[in-house]
Amino acid sequence: MKGTSKYIEGIRTKFPLLNKKVYGKPLVYFDNAATTQKPQKVIDRINAYYNSENANIHRGVHHLSQVATQDYEDARTRIKNYIGADKVNEIIFTKGTTDGINLVATSFGELMNKGDEVLISAMEHHSNIVPWQLLAERKGIVLRVIPIQQDGTLDMDAFHGMLNEKTKLVAITHISNTLGTINPIKNIIKKAHGVGAKVLIDGAQSIQHGEVNVAHLNCDFFVFSGHKIFGPTGIGVLYGKESILDCMPPYQGGGDMIQRVSFDQTTYNELPFKFEAGTPNIVGGIALGTALEFMESIDTKQAFAHENELLTYTEQELLTVEGLKIYGTSKHKTSLVSFNVGTIHPFDIGTLLDKQGIAVRTGHHCTQPLMDFFCIPGTIRASFSLYNTKAEIDLFIHALKKAISVLS
């Protein structure tokens, strides 16, 4: 593709769906914040599991079970190394980011008392709002919201003023899925720890756009979804510090999370299995390990720099469009752009873009309070990954201008 470095073109060849045509047009996939496409390596690993390894894991003495168990636990070890965790038993497999946050809200929430405070921000995904509202209803904790500024950045002065001895947890997104804002989480973690609070980082939008090292961050919890980093849907990870996870009660009951069951008393398994009740998404865990293996095989420094170039180029081109407004103008952003054009509804523009082969997301992006802050129903969101190109952005801008001319 014209305007693409050989390195990025080489990466693109590993993703078969990028060759697809939509309505006779080459697919331009700019919905990566919703889910990423999958490299052939991940697709092949899923097929290989079902073709030659399928068995339930743990406690099986037969060959297939032992192979599947080893592959599943090897994936856990790879994840531990990829995010810089200290111990493999700090890696809990979940269904995704939402499931991980709900686990913490339910289990860690049991350690909270009426009047304790949880801080979240005004830019959070619904998945990092509703679980804490449920906890507030159940336990009487107080949910407080860190305000944001017009450029889509956190009001850090307000945050500092909200911290107090009642603050038990700060649950914050690393990168906004709607604005692209990169939050200063190292500072947030340090300040929160200063008043004895724990910190949960929603890493759904950061895991695929930069290096994550939970030990260096010193966060207490970190959650992400496999499908955001080229893995399958239905699998995710909760990292938690061992000392905290040990104190938390189980999230769900069932197989694998027990040591012994009787009608008088049940004793619970050790970490990480205490939080992994029932038959897990075995192939999902294995394929997530393969996705991280893919990430380790490429020059991520070059790939992340390429993504930043795409962001800069896109914003420059969008600002030439009359009546267009970008939401989220922080100097510290990742590769997505949310915008509207005049009074045209984002759904209408998204529909016409689709007819030209351009896949973007329209709506509130599961951040309705954020939409209320900007007094808008939603936005058009174009989000990029390492396999996207400037040539695709040119097609997108051309299609956008065409859609605007039809709708104006």
Domain positions in the chain are 6-30+299-407, 43-296
Q: Which pLDDT belongs to residue 23?
A: 96
- Cα angle 145, 151, 153 (rounded to 5 degrees) comes to 40
Q: Residue 2: what pLDDT? A: 45
Strand ranges for 241-397 from DSSP E: 258-261, 266-268, 324-327, 336-341, 358-359, 361-363, 379-383
Q: Choosing from 219, 247, 366, 375, which is the catalytic residue?
A: 366
366 catalytic? Reply is: yes
Instruction: Kindly give the pairing relationship between strand 167-173 and strand 117-121.
Output: parallel
| 6-30+299-407 and 43-296 share one fold | no
Q: Is the bond preceding 16 in cis, omega lying within 30 degrees of 0? A: no
Pairing label, strands 21-22, 25-26: antiparallel
Give the pLDDT score at 252.
93
Classify domain 43-296 by CATH architecture.
3-Layer(aba) Sandwich (3.40)
Position 4 scores a pLDDT of: 57
Q: Which residues of the chain have pLDDT under 70?
A: 1-4
How confident is the model at residue 6, as a pLDDT? Answer: 87
94: which strand partners?
236
Assigned CATH for 6-30+299-407:
3.90.1150.10
- Judge whether 371 and 386 are in contact, CB under 8 Å: no
Q: What is the pLDDT of residue 179?
A: 98
What is residue 59's predicted lDDT score, i.e. its pLDDT? Answer: 84
Residue 53 · residue 72 · CB < 8 Å: no
What are the helix (H) ranges across 319-378? 346-355, 368-374
Using alpha carbons only, give the angle 272, 273, 274 rounded to the nearest 5 degrees: 95
The pLDDT assigned to 5 comes to 83
**What value does the mean pLDDT of the chain take?**
96
> Residue 42 and residue 46: Cα distance in Å, rounded?
6
